[in-house]
Protein backbone atom coordinates (compact mmCIF):
# COMPACT_ATOMS: atom_id res chain seq x y z
CA UNK A 1 0.00 0.00 0.00
CA UNK A 2 1.34 3.43 -0.96
CA UNK A 3 1.95 6.09 1.62
CA UNK A 4 0.04 9.30 1.27
CA UNK A 5 2.26 12.32 1.14
CA UNK A 6 3.70 15.00 -1.12
CA UNK A 7 4.23 13.91 -4.68
CA UNK A 8 7.75 14.09 -6.09
CA UNK A 9 6.65 14.01 -9.73
CA UNK A 10 6.28 17.79 -9.97
CA UNK A 11 9.58 18.33 -8.16
CA UNK A 12 11.45 16.22 -10.71
CA UNK A 13 9.88 18.10 -13.57
CA UNK A 14 10.69 21.51 -12.07
CA UNK A 15 14.22 20.71 -10.95
CA UNK A 16 17.04 22.46 -12.79
CA UNK A 17 18.51 20.68 -15.81
CA UNK A 18 22.17 20.38 -16.55
CA UNK A 19 23.36 22.51 -19.49
CA UNK A 20 25.02 19.44 -21.02
CA UNK A 21 21.69 17.59 -21.02
CA UNK A 22 19.90 20.54 -22.63
CA UNK A 23 22.60 20.90 -25.29
CA UNK A 24 22.57 17.16 -26.02
CA UNK A 25 18.78 17.26 -26.42
CA UNK A 26 19.04 20.22 -28.82
CA UNK A 27 21.75 18.51 -30.87
CA UNK A 28 19.73 15.30 -31.01
CA UNK A 29 16.73 17.30 -32.17
CA UNK A 30 18.78 18.80 -35.01
CA UNK A 31 20.31 15.43 -35.90
CA UNK A 32 23.88 16.60 -35.18
CA UNK A 33 24.89 14.07 -32.52
CA UNK A 34 26.34 11.68 -35.12
CA UNK A 35 28.34 14.46 -36.74
CA UNK A 36 29.77 15.58 -33.42
CA UNK A 37 30.72 12.00 -32.48
CA UNK A 38 32.43 11.61 -35.85
CA UNK A 39 34.39 14.84 -35.34
CA UNK A 40 35.37 13.75 -31.81
CA UNK A 41 36.59 10.46 -33.25
CA UNK A 42 38.67 12.25 -35.90
CA UNK A 43 40.23 14.42 -33.20
CA UNK A 44 40.97 11.32 -31.11
CA UNK A 45 42.56 9.69 -34.19
CA UNK A 46 44.85 12.71 -34.61
CA UNK A 47 45.78 12.76 -30.91
CA UNK A 48 46.11 9.06 -30.06
CA UNK A 49 47.38 7.36 -33.21
CA UNK A 50 51.12 7.62 -33.99
CA UNK A 51 52.19 9.71 -36.98
CA UNK A 52 53.76 6.75 -38.79
CA UNK A 53 50.32 5.09 -38.90
CA UNK A 54 48.37 8.27 -39.73
CA UNK A 55 50.65 8.83 -42.73
CA UNK A 56 49.59 5.49 -44.21
CA UNK A 57 46.00 5.12 -43.01
CA UNK A 58 43.02 7.44 -42.92
CA UNK A 59 39.61 7.29 -41.31
CA UNK A 60 36.91 6.93 -43.94
CA UNK A 61 33.81 6.84 -41.77
CA UNK A 62 32.45 5.87 -38.38
CA UNK A 63 29.05 4.18 -38.11
CA UNK A 64 27.38 2.18 -35.36
CA UNK A 65 30.59 1.63 -33.41
CA UNK A 66 32.55 0.57 -36.49
CA UNK A 67 35.54 2.60 -37.59
CA UNK A 68 36.34 2.18 -41.29
CA UNK A 69 40.00 2.86 -42.09
CA UNK A 70 41.64 3.00 -45.52
CA UNK A 71 45.23 1.70 -45.64
CA UNK A 72 47.65 2.35 -48.51
CA UNK A 73 49.03 -1.17 -49.09
CA UNK A 74 48.68 -4.83 -48.01
CA UNK A 75 51.73 -4.70 -45.75
CA UNK A 76 50.20 -1.90 -43.68
CA UNK A 77 46.82 -3.61 -43.79
CA UNK A 78 48.39 -6.69 -42.19
CA UNK A 79 50.28 -4.63 -39.61
CA UNK A 80 47.21 -2.63 -38.60
CA UNK A 81 45.12 -5.78 -38.57
CA UNK A 82 47.50 -7.11 -35.91
CA UNK A 83 47.33 -3.77 -34.02
CA UNK A 84 43.60 -3.10 -34.36
CA UNK A 85 42.75 -4.07 -30.77
CA UNK A 86 45.49 -1.79 -29.42
CA UNK A 87 44.33 1.05 -31.73
CA UNK A 88 40.75 0.57 -30.55
CA UNK A 89 41.86 0.80 -26.90
CA UNK A 90 43.92 3.94 -27.63
CA UNK A 91 40.99 5.64 -29.40
CA UNK A 92 38.46 4.73 -26.73
CA UNK A 93 40.82 5.99 -24.03
CA UNK A 94 41.25 9.29 -25.89
CA UNK A 95 37.48 9.58 -26.37
CA UNK A 96 36.81 8.75 -22.74
CA UNK A 97 34.13 6.21 -23.66
CA UNK A 98 33.97 2.85 -25.45
CA UNK A 99 32.67 4.30 -28.73
CA UNK A 100 34.81 2.20 -31.13
CA UNK A 101 33.72 -1.42 -31.02
CA UNK A 102 35.46 -2.62 -34.18
CA UNK A 103 38.03 -1.35 -36.67
CA UNK A 104 37.47 -2.41 -40.26
CA UNK A 105 40.44 -2.05 -42.62
CA UNK A 106 40.53 -1.90 -46.40
CA UNK A 107 43.20 -1.23 -48.98
CA UNK A 108 42.96 2.06 -50.84
CA UNK A 109 44.63 5.40 -51.25
CA UNK A 110 45.24 7.32 -48.04
CA UNK A 111 43.19 10.34 -49.01
CA UNK A 112 44.42 13.09 -46.72
CA UNK A 113 47.27 14.01 -44.47
CA UNK A 114 46.56 15.61 -41.19
CA UNK A 115 46.96 19.34 -40.79
CA UNK A 116 48.58 18.50 -37.46
CA UNK A 117 51.31 16.49 -39.21
CA UNK A 118 52.69 19.34 -41.31
CA UNK A 119 52.73 22.60 -39.38
CA UNK A 120 52.74 25.65 -41.63
CA UNK A 121 53.16 29.33 -41.01
CA UNK A 122 49.78 31.04 -40.68
CA UNK A 123 48.58 32.50 -43.95
CA UNK A 124 46.42 35.59 -43.78
CA UNK A 125 43.85 35.54 -46.51
CA UNK A 126 40.36 36.78 -47.09
CA UNK A 127 37.66 34.51 -45.67
CA UNK A 128 36.40 32.01 -48.22
CA UNK A 129 32.83 32.62 -49.32
CA UNK A 130 30.66 29.72 -50.42
CA UNK A 131 29.24 29.82 -53.95
CA UNK A 132 25.79 31.34 -54.39
CA UNK A 133 24.33 27.84 -54.76
CA UNK A 134 25.96 26.70 -51.52
CA UNK A 135 24.92 29.93 -49.79
CA UNK A 136 21.33 29.32 -50.91
CA UNK A 137 21.47 25.76 -49.58
CA UNK A 138 22.86 27.01 -46.25
CA UNK A 139 20.00 29.52 -45.95
CA UNK A 140 17.54 26.75 -46.78
CA UNK A 141 19.03 24.53 -44.06
CA UNK A 142 18.87 27.35 -41.51
CA UNK A 143 15.30 28.41 -42.35
CA UNK A 144 13.67 26.28 -39.61
CA UNK A 145 15.96 27.92 -37.03
CA UNK A 146 15.14 31.59 -37.81
CA UNK A 147 13.65 32.34 -34.39
CA UNK A 148 16.11 30.22 -32.38
CA UNK A 149 18.73 31.93 -30.20
CA UNK A 150 21.49 29.64 -31.50
CA UNK A 151 20.82 30.33 -35.19
CA UNK A 152 23.78 32.71 -35.68
CA UNK A 153 26.22 30.33 -34.01
CA UNK A 154 24.92 27.46 -36.15
CA UNK A 155 25.32 29.58 -39.30
CA UNK A 156 28.94 30.41 -38.40
CA UNK A 157 29.63 26.74 -37.74
CA UNK A 158 28.19 25.70 -41.11
CA UNK A 159 30.17 28.42 -42.91
CA UNK A 160 33.42 27.28 -41.26
CA UNK A 161 32.66 23.70 -42.22
CA UNK A 162 31.79 24.68 -45.81
CA UNK A 163 34.97 26.78 -46.13
CA UNK A 164 37.04 23.62 -45.64
CA UNK A 165 35.75 22.32 -48.99
CA UNK A 166 36.07 25.47 -51.07
Query: Taking a C-beta distance cutoff of 8 angstroms, is the pair 159, 128 a contact?
Result: no
Looking at residue 113, its pLDDT comes to 47
Query: Taking a C-beta distance cutoff of 8 angstroms, is the pair 125, 100 a contact?
Result: no
Report d(CA 86, CA 79) in Å as an integer: 12
Q: What is the pLDDT along the chain (166 residues), one digit of tens a residue?
A: 555 555 555 555 678 888 777 777 776 777 777 777 778 888 889 988 999 999 889 998 888 889 999 998 889 899 999 999 999 999 999 888 888 999 999 988 765 544 344 444 444 454 555 566 777 777 887 888 888 777 788 888 877 777 765 5
For the residues of 7-27, what is the DSSP string, one character each? -SHHHHHHSPPPHHHHHHHHH
What is Dmax (Cα atoms) for the chain? 73
The alpha helices in the chain, defined as continuous H runs, are 9-14, 19-30, 33-48, 51-54, 74-95, 132-142, 151-163
pTM beyond 0.75, yes or no? no
Q: Which of 159, 165, 154 is nearest to 32 (CA)?
A: 154
Print burial letters for 27-64: b (CB count within 10 Å at least 16), e (below 16): eeeeeeeeeeeeebbeebbbebbeeebbebbbbeebee
Q: Which of 37, 36, 30, 34 is nearest to 141 (CA)?
A: 30
Q: Where are the domains of the chain?
A: 22-114, 129-166
The torsion angle over the Cα atoms of residues 118, 119, 125 and 131, rounded to 10 degrees, is: 40
The CATH number, out of the four listed (3.40.640.10, 3.30.465.10, 3.30.300.180, 3.20.20.140), of the domain defined by the range 22-114: 3.30.300.180
Q: List CB contacts of 73: < 8 A, sequence separation 6 or more.
A: 56, 107
Amino acid sequence: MKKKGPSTEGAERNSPSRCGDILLGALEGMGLVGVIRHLALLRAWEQAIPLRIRERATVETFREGRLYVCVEDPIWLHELHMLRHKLKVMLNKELGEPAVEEIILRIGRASRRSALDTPKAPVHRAPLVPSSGAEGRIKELLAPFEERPYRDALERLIHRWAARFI
